[in-house]
Structure 1
Amino acid sequence: MELQTERSPLQHRHIIGMRVDATSYEDATERIIKWAQFRAAKRVCAANVHMAMETYDDPKFAEVVNYADLVTPDGMPLVWGLRALGIKDATRVCGPSLTLMVCEAAARHKLPIALYGGTPESLVDLTSFLLDRFPEIEIACQISPPFRELTPAEDTAYTEQIVASGARILFVGIGCPRQEIWMARHQDRIPAVMLGVGAAFNFYSGRVKHAPLWMQKIGLEWFFRLLMEPRRLWKRYLKQNPRFIFLFLQQLILSSRIDN
């Protein structure tokens, strides 16, 4: 039966060592729904420059991402990277937008979802937003874990709560790299499709404003987020973005030499 859940393999490239799949919103959503219908335990990562740099700096985290079942190109720099590496029709599949498409499809197919992340207050607002937008959606479980390392007892209790809820799709919003590591550690314990969607919780609970579409299209969403949250994000963007550009240009030059 598991074979029926599988679609044809996606094209992918490794960008500074991180696998990125050339998927689309429609393809990713269809894969996730198929997996969920068969109660398949799968992991979906929405990758951006921050995640790429985390994988570059931490080989163990690189394994976590590279062995996920789907790695979408969340940020435009990764889309440009896929195109530069030969996948000319690569398109962006960002976590927050994918969240809405999957929620719409989950409501239509009667697949219960669960939410793991955020604060108790933000989860109330996120739930309200989702129910208002998708009245038929079933939110079977909502958990706001503490912002610290969980005790084994807490972790077991939360895991059992998710499993008992019957959720087929689990949205995890506890930030990169924490959410990707959490999903990898729980994949063999939770029979659901897990999506690491980070900022989606903040966007749709109204905690953080989303960048205008024109800024997203030209790859300036990072700059908008920096303006919104300078204290939290300035080190990440001003340190990691230049490093990413240097490392990827280095990769391109090396690959062109090998091809020649």
Structure 2
Amino acid sequence: MRADLEDVGSSPSPSIGAGPAPGPARLTIAGIAVENAMAERIVDRLERAIATGSMPGALPGPLLRVAFLNAHCVNVSRKDEAYRAALGECTVLADGIGVDLAARMLHGAPFVANLNGTDFVPLFLKTVGRPLRVALVGGAPGIAERAAAALAAAQPRHAFAAVSDGFFGEAGRERVLADLQTGGFDVVLVAMGVPAQELFLTRHLDARHGRVAMGVGALFDFLAGEVSRAPPVIRRLRLEWVWRLMQEPGRLWRRYVLGNPSFVAGILADRFRMREE
């Protein structure tokens, strides 16, 4: 059953809305520069990146890559130098209560908005001022097609194309890249999980394939109805990770039961080092 787009694309938290963003433009979490911005500012940045290459006679600018950083991503980045380097080439958005806690501990205030991909991507597609061609790459076989259909039903002014699932391997990579290059896409959504999607964005995608590329994690699964979103009250309490753990304990228990204490310990160590410097 297809997910309800009202659940996938709208957060009960007002922090994803528009408005001025006080404080520094970026906050550093575990050595990673993360945008401290309201959704409106990021949408405007993406829209400008898309528009720049669309002007008559204009050469396409560099591909704008977007990644979302949550507590699990921070844990992965501490062990995976290639992933960490890939994040350095992306516009990184704050995702979830974990990085908010880190911001409070390290900088004295949380991020001004929770820009998780599950809410931000549909919000971007809803508010962007022009029709777009959007490619979907990733997920299990058949999931990208169902996600594209769900997005098309919610946002019919855009054109969505499921280019490939996430299991094309090295043998199929050139085919996927060729399809992206000939598709004339404005936006490429990549759902391969961390760190594979960020490595794909930075190692293989460039301005020939689109103008904006985002690593979107489990978004396709939510859109396709494979995984249900937490009820609004749980999202409002910033406890969606508990809901996901209850849904997929076998797959996610290491990420949350072991990963969350590891994340907090790492941030405490970062805080201690900052005080020593």
Shorter-chain TM-score range: 0.7 to 0.9
1:121 to 116, 131, 142: 142
Give the equivalent residue in structure 1 for 2:178: 160
Does residue 183 (structure 1) correspond to residue 205 (structure 2)? The answer is no
Please report the TM-score for the alignment, with normalisation by the length of structure 1: 0.86
Please report the TM-score for the alignment, with normalisation by the length of structure 2: 0.81
Shift of 1:76: 1.6
Does residue 95 (structure 1) correspond to residue 114 (structure 2)? The answer is no
Unpaired segments of 5 or more residues in structure 2?
1-23, 54-60
Identity rate of aligned residues, in percent? 26
Unpaired segments of 5 or more residues in structure 1?
1-9
Shift of 1:249: 1.5
Shift of 1:190: 2.4
1:77 to 94, 98, 101: 98
1:229 to 248, 257, 266: 248
Contact 2:163 2:176 in 1 (8 A): yes
Give the equivalent residue in structure 1 for 2:126: 104
In 2 relative to 1, CA 158–71 (structure 1 residues): closer, same or farther, beyond 3 Å? same
Does residue 58 (structure 1) correspond to residue 77 (structure 2)? The answer is no
Contact 1:117 1:144 in 2 (8 A): yes
Give the equivalent residue in structure 1 for 2:165: 145
Task: Give the SS at the match of 2:225.
Answer: coil
Q: Distance in 2 between matches of 1:134 and 1:247?
A: 41
- 1:136-156 deviation digits (Å, cap 9, x = unpaired): 1111x31233536322xx211
In 2 relative to 1, CA 169–203 (structure 1 residues): closer, same or farther, beyond 3 Å? same
Matched residue count: 244
Q: Distance in 1 between matches of 2:213 and 2:272?
A: 36
Shift of 1:219: 3.2
Let me know the Cα RMSD of the aligned residues: 1.9
